Amino acid sequence: MFSWLEGFNLGFDRNDFSTVHKDKLPHITEKSMCLQYAVTHEDFAWAMRGEPGVVGAFEKVYDTEDLIVSFDAINFGFPNRKDNS
């Protein structure tokens, strides 16, 4: 995920929290959602969808193993982000 964000060459640096700013990131909405760039089909997105702990949690919540996956957006929840309130 961080490599993908850094790949836009906008100035985001995973090791520098001050670069978590809309001017240094691809378009991410004020609700922390990214709906562009085919991000939902990136390898890291597929890895998250298939993570056993994630799948297991949803199986328990919905009491079924028959789950459908959404491809509409990815949430980038940066803690204490100050530029998108």
Taking each helix axis from N to C end, the angle separating 43-50 and 52-62, rounded to the nearest 10 degrees, works out to 50
Which structure tokens are listed for 82? 């100050």
Task: Give the model's confidence band at 72: pLDDT under 50 very low, under 70 low, under 90 confident, else very high.
Answer: confident
Global confidence as pTM: 0.78
For the chain, the helix, strand and coil percentages under 3-state DSSP, each to the nearest 5: 40, 5, 55
How crowded is residue 22: how many other Cβ atoms within 10 Å of its Cβ? 14
What percent of the chain is predicted at pLDDT more than 70?
99
**Separation between Cα atoms, residue 50 and residue 18, nearest integer Å:** 31
Task: Give the model's confidence band at 85: pLDDT under 50 very low, under 70 low, under 90 confident, else very high.
Answer: low
> Would the pLDDT of 24 be above 90?
yes
